[in-house]
Amino acid sequence: MDGYERIIVSCRDTDVLVLLTHFAGQLSGELWMRTGTRQERRYVAVHDIQLTPTMQRNILVYHAVTGCDTVSQPSGHGKKTTWKVFQQHGALLDDLGRGTLLESTIRSVEEFFCRIYSPASDETNINDVRYRMFQKGTKDQEKLPPSRKCL
């Protein structure tokens, strides 16, 4: 933003807001997103969105794995539910999308999804969460979490 005090991005796409939020900390001026319709324009002060350093670092990964334009959301769990998990356990996504996909990264992402599908449990194995949900009566495949191989 050299030489600019304010940038306004005009867009109605949530993916763009997530991108702006991620990069806002790297800019020195005001960053706004103009959204809405011609009749009802709204301005979002992206520079005022407060995220922890972990959330700032991982918001792109969070958005990608919990549903965006190209990836569907975890079945039965919208952004409000997954956001709560992200606020508490965002560090589990630290290594995803940063170099080689290690087994430890896969385990961390698996634990993140365990927290989404079974928030009251300390379970870290998604297949076990899937099995327990099935045992408790969740028979609809679409409401069960993905298997570990599908993650």
pTM for this model (two decimals)? 0.83
Residue ranges per structural domain of the chain: 6-48, 53-143
- How many residues appear in the chain? 151
- In this prediction, residue 111 has a pLDDT band, given cuts at 50, 70 and 90, of very high
Instruction: Give CA–CA dist 109/63, Å, rounded.
Output: 13
- pLDDT-based confidence at 11, cuts 50/70/90? very high
